[in-house]
Structure 1
Amino acid sequence: MSTKPSPYQALPFSDRCRQVWGLGDHLLIGVSPGNSYFSARRIAELIDWGREFFDAVDVVYADLHVDAQFEAFGHTPEHAGRRAAKEIKTTARRIERGVEQAGPARVGVHALSEFLVEPVYQRLRAEVEAALREDQVFREAAEGMARSFLAGRLPAGVAAEAGQLAAGLRYICAELPFFLDTPALLGRASSISCHHIELPLTPVLFGRCEGLRAAPAQGYAVVRPAQAAGVAEAPGVAEASETLAA
């Protein structure tokens, strides 16, 4: 076990996710446009940190349905398209700088739109759409995730309108294939998708025995700065990190 303090702490969602982590095959870092958490420095740190535990690291950023969100908040289609293109371009440049800062080891960088023609992505996306129609537990969690996502664009205490919620759901559904089966999408034996918070859909995709859920080789972990996590505020995080660093 390394004695060097880790800049990040990891908490796999379940025992199965911890087992997938222990395989050390692949880490997926998902980046959303407009999310200030993912600075170039943060991306570089996450890549460096991920290389300690995984054979490969990939970054995927969302570039689908961003314009629909701006339209749902009252922008004309033309203005929404320009705003979305600017946000996506800024995100891509930030990732590029982060990868450069992380050093010479190869890191895969992908836009979601690259996968639209892939049969695996199309199948997984169809499964997500079917679950939205047929699985109430999944739909409620997805709507909760969309509301959380949209809250940053709304005044405090204001709930999303129906059109805004629908736009948020389309955006989230485009990302969900990578929470379901990244190994199939990227040709890896197993994979951990990471985020700095537990998402409302995490217990649904990784914690239940029925309905739409992640593939056996797909795991999920909350990964956040060690100084921000704090053992007192987040019991079990430090303990889990020690296990993972072994």
Structure 2
Amino acid sequence: MSTPERDEPPAAVAVTLPSSRCAAAIDRAEHARFGISPFNRYFSAGRIRQLAAWGLGRFADVHFYMPAAPSAFAFEALGYGPERAAWKARRQGQYTRNRILAALRDLDVADAEDRVLGWAELDGNAEYSRLYGRAELAPRARTGLRSRRAPRFPARAPELNNDAQCRSGHATPTCPPVPRIETSPA
């Protein structure tokens, strides 16, 4: 897919909302956070630009989250040594970060760097750690399961409740499951 020219309207975007809570969050249009998987070819440079254009035109604030660091665990499970696995995850994460930044800069977003969140930005965030711990314990509380604590790494962006905040301090209303957003050529 080629990247549309700057003056072209963004591609059509279809949003599938699994609940009324999701619809309310979309209607408020306060904040959008796109999770971009570093190893998923769906997120081409053109697709990222389409999502960014749509989000920036619809929401008061937009961030992109790309969880590259936890991918090292998958590489270790595939037999890579820890150093090589971490290097591969870092390299792909940087490549993905650069694609996101290029899309944002192409759209003349002045604070592009601040809109891209990776594991490094979340790892030291106290609110994220608090919410992650709460989410980790929630299934056990409901089912009565007790087990050893799993390794600490995020499964996705901190999408836990209406009290959550992004690094910039914006409220991040969410709804499980996450709304599905698809783009198609204009």
TM-score after normalising by structure 2 = 0.76
Instruction: Report the Cα offset of residue 128 of structure 1.
Output: 2.3
Counterpart pick for 1:93 among 76, 84, 98: 98
Instruction: Please state if 1:184 is matched with 2:164.
Output: yes
Superposition pairs for residues 36-51 of structure 1, below 5 Å? 36-51=41-56
Going from structure 1 to structure 2, the CA distance change for 1:133 and 1:32 (only over 3 Å counts) comes to same
Specify the SS of the correspondent of 2:154.
Answer: helix
Q: Percent identity?
A: 26
Going from structure 1 to structure 2, the CA distance change for 1:182 and 1:34 (only over 3 Å counts) comes to farther
Quote the Cα distance in structure 1 between the aligned partners of 2:33 and 2:42: 16
Instruction: Please state if 1:65 is matched with 2:70.
Output: yes
Instruction: Report the Cα offset of residue 55 of structure 1.
Output: 0.9
Match of 2:39 in 1: 34
Counterpart pick for 1:123 among 113, 130, 137: 130
The structure where helix makes up a greater share of residues is: 1
Going from structure 1 to structure 2, the CA distance change for 1:62 and 1:190 (only over 3 Å counts) comes to closer
Task: Answer yes or no: is the 8 Å Cα contact 1:28–1:192 preserved in 2.
Answer: no
Quote the Cα distance in structure 2 between the aligned partners of 1:79 and 1:115: 23
Instruction: Report the Cα offset of residue 7 of structure 1.
Output: 1.4
Specify the SS of the correspondent of 2:105.
Answer: helix
Task: Answer yes or no: is the 8 Å Cα contact 1:67–1:81 preserved in 2.
Answer: yes
Cα-to-partner distance string for 1:53-83 (whole Å, 9 max, x where unaligned):
2111111111332211101111122221222
Specify the SS of the correspondent of 1:184.
Answer: coil
Specify the SS of the correspondent of 1:86.
Answer: helix
CA RMSD of aligned residues (A): 2.9
Aligned residues: 169
Task: Answer yes or no: is the 8 Å Cα contact 2:163–2:172 preserved in 1.
Answer: yes
Match of 1:225 in 2: 183
Superposition pairs for residues 1-246 of structure 1, below 5 Å? 7-104=12-109, 106-107=111-112, 108-136=115-143, 174-176=154-156, 178-181=158-161, 184-186=164-166, 187-191=169-173, 202=177, 220-226=178-184
Cα-to-partner distance string for 1:12-56 (whole Å, 9 max, x where unaligned):
221121011111111111111111111121111111111232111
Quote the Cα distance in structure 1 between the aligned partners of 2:16 and 2:85: 37
Unmatched runs of 5 consecutive residues or more in structure 2: 1-8, 144-149
TM-score after normalising by structure 1 = 0.59
Quote the Cα distance in structure 1 between the aligned partners of 2:163 and 2:31: 8
Quote the Cα distance in structure 1 between the aligned partners of 2:173 and 2:24: 11
Instruction: Report the Cα offset of residue 5 of structure 1.
Output: 8.7
Going from structure 1 to structure 2, the CA distance change for 1:66 and 1:190 (only over 3 Å counts) comes to closer
Task: Answer yes or no: is the 8 Å Cα contact 1:31–1:59 preserved in 2.
Answer: yes
Instruction: Report the Cα offset of residue 105 of structure 1.
Output: 5.5
Task: Answer yes or no: is the 8 Å Cα contact 2:47–2:183 preserved in 1.
Answer: no
